[in-house]
Amino acid sequence: MRVEKVEEGRDEIRVSTTGAIYTINKAGGEGEIVCEQRIGAEREVATLRIYRSLDSLTVEEVNDEVCVIHQSTPPTECWRGLRIRIHSDSMMSILGDRPIKATFRGSLVPEYGVVERGNFILIDEFGGIGCYPLGWETPKTSLRFSGKDWQISVLLERRQRFLTSVFPPRPFEWEKSFRDRIVHHFSVDKPYPTDEEIRDWSQYGNILVLHATIWKGKYTRMGKRLKGTVDTYADACWTSYRYTPLDLEELRRVVEAAHDAGMRVIPYMSASMSLAEDEEFIREVSRVVREYGMDGVYFDGVSDDVWQAYRIMRGVREVLGDKILYVHVPSPIIGESYADGYYVYCPFIDTYADYTLRAEHIKNFDWRYLRYTISTYNISNSIGFVCNYNYPPEFVSGIVDQVLKANARLPYWTGRWVSGEFLREERPPDLRIEEELQEIMRREYFPKLSEAEKRWRGE
């Protein structure tokens, strides 16, 4: 993703990124910005008006990552004024020196639409648009939808930043979506799998996720052995500031065995729960990958704050380069209930992940949730996986075709998965469920995924 072209004229400024075009009208008095989508479909998705003259806007900086545009308001606030930043991920940030009424109008008819506390996201089969006011109190919002068009107005306070996202910000990686198959391993008693287990799992995946118990926590740092579910929670290894292996030699053995079996290895980390914050956490990601020979990282959450999540995901992507970033719930859930399955989220954050994972513990959802929340196709265009461990096997069997139709994917769980439900209830996991799920993956999912790949290749 990059800022591809910036054209500055007397009447307008036109900024083209990989996924969008923003055309800022300087000549009119209503502060009109036309928002166009470039991937999925070439079309106008909305017109934004901020109801102020933009006649003195100037482009201050252009590079691959961002275009910075400014309008000063002399004489008292000339150092602030109106600031517009258009990023390579097709997100536009606007920060004003006085209150702004932001009115979006469009004719896109959404198949998935949520408006929540001034935030909104509108998606159809080809892409869409979202708006995200940051900080302050919940802005006053008015909306109108008809069968042909819509209008949403958000009243922002002075110096309240708001973000606009046109998506998808980058193309979908079809080759990667078929090639990369993910295996999850978690065990309290046996955090490091044997070489034989790794060779067996390599039949079903080429990416191995090692979950939280490979790291020391509050108890294990003191040499205490975990005896049960209460100890596991109290150990809280997922909150670590510095991620230290429970057994360094065992970790090195597992990484080497996985590499020998043709698998890449990514360890559990959590930006949302780690005591390392922002740049501290980004530096820790860099250290873990470098020091332990990892091929990327798996995150269990990022942040509940949109701007913080954005900075972390961009920073981690920068230090990882082309290594793997796989994220469970990558952007904040803006809405009343995760389990409802309908909420505002942030494609411009999700897109920095290679793969995303959603729907933990939900176990029952409809097509719209699968297509527009779990699948990221024509949204962020990362590759969306269903967090289906401990799901009813009959439900998983019933959604295999729908998952592939939505261009989403299923991971392979190794059978030692201890769900949070079992931990809270202090009972052992029912491994029969995982064994049935594994059989469904081998008998139904993998053959159908291979058939879908052949169709995509035209074979």
Domain boundaries, the chain: 3-167, 174-457
Closest by CA to 107, choosing from 88, 86, 124, is: 124
pLDDT band at 147 (very low <50, low <70, confident <90, very high): confident
Relative orientation angle of helices 306-320 and 279-291, to the nearest 10 degrees:
30
Topology classification of domain 3-167: Beta-galactosidase; Chain A, domain 5 (2.70.98)
Instruction: Please give the backbone phi and psi of residue 365, each rounded to the nearest 5 degrees, phi first.
Output: -155, 165
Return the structure tokens found at 232. 């596991």
Interval 307-323 mean pLDDT: 97
Domain 3-167 and domain 174-457 have a common topology = no
pLDDT at residue 266, as a whole number: 99
- Is residue 163 over pLDDT 90? yes
Interval 274-283 mean pLDDT: 95
pLDDT at residue 420, as a whole number: 52
pLDDT at residue 153, as a whole number: 96
Q: What is the pLDDT of residues 73-91, one digit of tens each?
A: 666 555 568 999 999 999 9
Parallel, antiparallel, or unpaired for β 12-17 and 3-8? Answer: antiparallel
pLDDT at residue 229, as a whole number: 72
Q: What is the pLDDT of residues 229-253, one digit of tens each?
A: 778 888 888 899 999 999 999 999 9
- Is residue 329 over pLDDT 60? yes
> How many other C-beta atoms are found inside a 10 Å radius of the C-beta of residue 314?
17
pLDDT at residue 107, as a whole number: 94
Strands laid side by side in the 324-328 sheet: 383-386, 355-358, 324-328, 296-300, 264-269, 207-210, 182-185, 412-413
pLDDT at residue 187, as a whole number: 84
Residues in Cβ contact with 105 at an 8 Å cutoff, skipping those fewer than 6 apart = 46, 47, 49, 149, 150, 151
Alpha carbon separation from 260 to 135, 211, 264, 292 (Å, rounded):
48, 20, 10, 16
Q: What is the pLDDT of residues 172-208, one digit of tens each?
A: 999 999 999 999 998 888 899 999 999 999 999 999 9
Q: What is the pLDDT of residues 379-426, one digit of tens each?
A: 999 999 999 988 889 999 999 999 999 999 999 998 765 555 555 555
- Is residue 428 over pLDDT 80? no
Closest by CA to 180, choosing from 203, 205, 210, is: 205
pLDDT band at 161 (very low <50, low <70, confident <90, very high): very high
Average pLDDT, the chain: 92
Relative orientation angle of helices 393-405 and 446-457, to the nearest 10 degrees:
10
Amino acid at 456: W
Q: What is the pLDDT of residues 343-377, one digit of tens each?
A: 999 999 999 999 999 998 887 789 999 999 999 99
Query: Rounded to whole angstroms, how far apart are CA atoms 101 and 63?
Result: 29
E strands present in 197-340: 207-210, 264-269, 296-300, 324-328
Query: Rounded to whole angstroms, how far apart are CA atoms 152 and 105?
Result: 7
Topology classification of domain 174-457: TIM Barrel (3.20.20)
pLDDT at residue 74, as a whole number: 66
- Is residue 430 over pLDDT 80? no
pLDDT at residue 77, as a whole number: 55
Q: Are the C-beta atoms of 308 and 332 separated by less than 8 Å?
A: no
Residues in Cβ contact with 180 at an 8 Å cutoff, skipping those fewer than 6 apart = 206, 207, 354, 355, 383
- Is residue 275 over pLDDT 80? yes
